[in-house]
């Protein structure tokens, strides 16, 4: 699963347990499999129910339609108790983030890529993806706080701007430019962003009007 | 029209003139209008022909199908004689690039956004978009060359890595994160990238293995 990126294994914080929870896991697993194998266009409540081995009326009752299934997939991803790694250095922490992002986007049958593709088809999915990313970036700000506390960064560093600068090249290369897989990109982007941040590139002074 | 981004007004370098060229302009204008108004799913050769006021057999003969129309749309964008602006400073040049990108992605009925969306639906469109971006980034490298010649940057600066770092936050915010329009983002991202580059963040030494 991944850093500021849609993620895959739903482990809800509050797990009611029992058949309802099991049904949800089976249904969401089936949605993921259908999305990555056959795409959004082929997604129907009936194929999901059949694949999950759950009665279709149960699926209709709880999720209503494809939009409801997709929304719950994002909700499950948001419920994951994700935290960025603590490697002891800003550069190491950013590299760890970037490796998680690259792995999630380039793995076979990437659910992250599938969810991004769906966000171009459904306004509801786009909103859900936006909320998920907002969570992940907010959770990642601790990486910058720690670096400031260690004296690695100016105290007035804009955490979000630094995190975007460190991670955006990954998304740009993999999702949009679709360049060849580059195993060194996560480290290189992290190193550049860390050095830039240490030079004060994400402080109000650096970006003040000319 | 836009910097390292799909662009809109096709002005082919070699313009044969006459009815063939006029037909192509009318047809590609109609494809753009259909794509931004009704989306890729609704795109058909017949609706394009009707909108362009061109006989449908002409459209079928020359473009064959929707894939042919989309491919020619990208070809027309690649034919534009685009050049990055020369403002006299690295920061100014990068800001000008970023403003072009932001404008093209956020304008009403953005053809750039429509082409990015199509690239998630069609492998052929994805390849065409990749080639277009490759052109634009290659054309933009002169911005870095000029900065090196002015003594603003270390000579061993990786031009592509710097250009990606400067522009990726724009795409990430607008296309993927879909954050609220931020008029200061182009300048801020340009300023951060320029300062980072001047600190040597895009040199082989900065990104060497730890």
Annotate A33-72 with DSSP letters as a single string: HHHHHH-GGG--HHHHHHHHT--HHHHHHHH-SHHHHHHH
Residue B180 three-state SS: coil
Which of B116, B173, B187 comes nearest A176 by C-beta? B116
Which CATH superfamily is A82-209 part of?
Tetracycline Repressor, domain 2 (1.10.357.10)
CA distance A2 to chain B (A): 16
Closest CA to B22 of B68, B70, B60, B58: B58
- Contact in structure between B202 and B162 (CB atoms under 8 Å): yes
Q: Tens of pLDDT along A52-75? A: 999 999 999 999 999 999 999 999
pTM: 0.87
Angle at A62 between CA A56 and CA A68, to 5 degrees: 100
**Is the confidence at residue A4, as pLDDT, over 80?**
no
Per CB-CB distance under 8 Å, the chain B contacts of A187 are: 207, 209
- Contact criterion met (CB < 8 Å) for B169 and A171: no
Domains of chain A by residue range: 18-78, 82-209
- Contact in structure between B131 and B71 (CB atoms under 8 Å): no
CA distance A204 to chain B (A): 9
Determine the average pLDDT of the residues in A4-25.
65
Per CB-CB distance under 8 Å, the chain A contacts of B188 are: 161, 207
CA distance B146 to chain A (A): 20
**Is the confidence at residue A13, as pLDDT, over 50?**
no
Write down the ipTM of this complex.
0.85
Q: Which two tokens stand for residue A157?
A: 């560093």
Q: Which fold has domain A18-78?
A: Arc Repressor Mutant, subunit A (1.10.10)
Q: What pLDDT is stored for residue A87 in this prediction?
A: 98
Q: Where are the alpha helices (DSSP H) in B107-158?
A: 111-119, 123-149
Same-fold call for A18-78 versus A82-209: no
- Contact criterion met (CB < 8 Å) for A92 and B210: yes
Per CB-CB distance under 8 Å, the chain A contacts of B195 are: 196, 199-201, 206
Per CB-CB distance under 8 Å, the chain B contacts of A115 are: none
Per CB-CB distance under 8 Å, the chain A contacts of B134 are: 177
Going residue by residue through chain B, which has 210 residues, state the pLDDT in tens, using 9 for 90 and above: 345 555 444 444 445 568 888 999 999 999 999 999 998 989 999 999 999 999 999 999 999 999 999 999 999 999 988 999 999 999 999 999 999 999 999 999 899 999 999 999 888 899 999 999 999 999 999 999 999 999 999 999 999 999 999 999 999 999 999 998 999 999 999 999 999 999 999 999 887 754
- C-alpha to C-alpha distance for B159 and A165, rounded to whole angstroms: 16
- Contact in structure between A138 and A111 (CB atoms under 8 Å): no
Q: What pLDDT is stored for residue A210 in this prediction?
A: 45
Which of A91, A176, A206 comes nearest B175 by C-beta? A176
**Is the confidence at residue A8, as pLDDT, over 80?**
no
- Contact criterion met (CB < 8 Å) for A187 and B209: yes
Which of B92, B167, B196 comes nearest A199 by C-beta? B196
Q: What is the CA radius of gyration of chain B?
A: 19
- Contact in structure between A100 and A166 (CB atoms under 8 Å): no
Q: What pLDDT is stored for residue B210 in this prediction?
A: 45
- Name the one residue in this structure whose structure tokens are 């409540």: A45
């Amino acid at each position: 699963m991944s850093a500021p990126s849609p993620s895959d294994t739903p482990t809800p914080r509050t797990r009611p347990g029992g058949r309802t929870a099991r049904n949800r896991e089976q249904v969401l697993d089936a949605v993921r499999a259908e999305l990555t194998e056959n795409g959004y266009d082929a997604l129907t409540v009936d194929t999901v129910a059949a694949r999950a081995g759950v009665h279709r009326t149960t699926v209709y009752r709880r999720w209503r339609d494809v939009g409801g299934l997709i929304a719950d997939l994002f909700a499950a991803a948001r419920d994951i108790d994700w935290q960025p790694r603590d490697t002891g250095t800003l550069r190491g922490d950013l590299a760890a983030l970037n490796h998680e992002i690259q792995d999630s986007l380039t793995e076979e049958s990437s659910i992250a890529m599938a969810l991004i593709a769906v966000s171009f088809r459904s306004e509801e999915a786009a909103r859900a993806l936006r909320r998920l990313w907002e969570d992940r970036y907010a959770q990642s700000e601790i990486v910058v706080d720690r670096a400031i506390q260690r004296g690695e960064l100016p105290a007035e560093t804009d955490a979000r701007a630094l995190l975007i600068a460190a991670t955006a090249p990954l998304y740009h290369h993999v999702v949009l430019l679709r360049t060849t897989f580059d195993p060194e990109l996560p480290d290189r982007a992290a190193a550049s962003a860390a050095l830039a941040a240490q030079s004060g590139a994400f402080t109000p002074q650096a970006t003040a009007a000319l």
